[in-house]
Structure 1
C-alpha cells in the first residue's frame, strides 16, 4: 500500500504539477475523474478508487494492530483485541464528529449523513449482524 501511495503521488505530481496538486483536496480522485485518453479511456476512477480504498484499509488495519498490540504489551493487559475494539470506537467518533473544518467534509457531508447514516452503517448494521449470529448460534446449540 505504501508503494501504491508513492506511485499515485508521483503520478499526480507529474500530471498536474506541484502547484495544482497542492490545491487539490483529494488529488487521486480529482485526477482520475478528469483523465481522458483519446476519448477512449475515460473516468478511470472506477479502477483506481477501489485500489486506493484497499490501500487505505490495509494501512489503517496495520496501524490499528500495532497500536492495540503495543498498548496491550505496554499496559500489561493481555487481551489486545478488546483494546483494538475500544480504539476503533474512539477513531470512529473522532472521524465522524471532528472533521467539519475540512473543505471536502462541507461538500460531501450533510447532517443526515453524520447524524444518522454513518452511525447506522458503522455501528447499527454490525450490531444487528452480531445479534442475528448469536441467535443462530443459540438455536443450533
Structure 2
C-alpha cells in the first residue's frame, strides 16, 4: 500500500511541475515514477500517510481563508520560527509537511535542517505578546 502512495506522490509532483495531463505526459510521468529509485530507508506507515492526506484536504480551505483574511486585514509583522519534524517521518512525508506549510499563504519553509527542524517564516497580523 505504501508503494502505491509513493507512486501517487511522485505522479502528483510530476503533474504539478508539468501542468499537462495529455496521454503522452501521463505515460512519461508513470515511466519516470516507476524508474526513480525505490523504497525509502524508513518505510512510512499507512496511518502517517492517511493523516498527511487529511491534512492536505484541510489545508485547501485554510489557504483560501488565510488569503482572504490577508486581503481584508493587513498582516504587517513577520517572524521566523523553528519547528520540529514529527518523529519517524520518511522523506516523502517530510516533503508533504514542507508542502503543506508552504501551501498556506501565511507561512513558508525557508530551510529544512537535517537534524529534524524546519525554519518557518510567518506573516502575522500583530506581534505575539
| TMscore range, shorter length | under 0.3
Highest CA radius of gyration, 1 or 2?
A: 1
TM-score, normalising length: structure 2: 0.26
**Which protein has greater RCO, CA pairs closer than 8 Å, 6+ apart?**
2
Greater fraction helix: 1
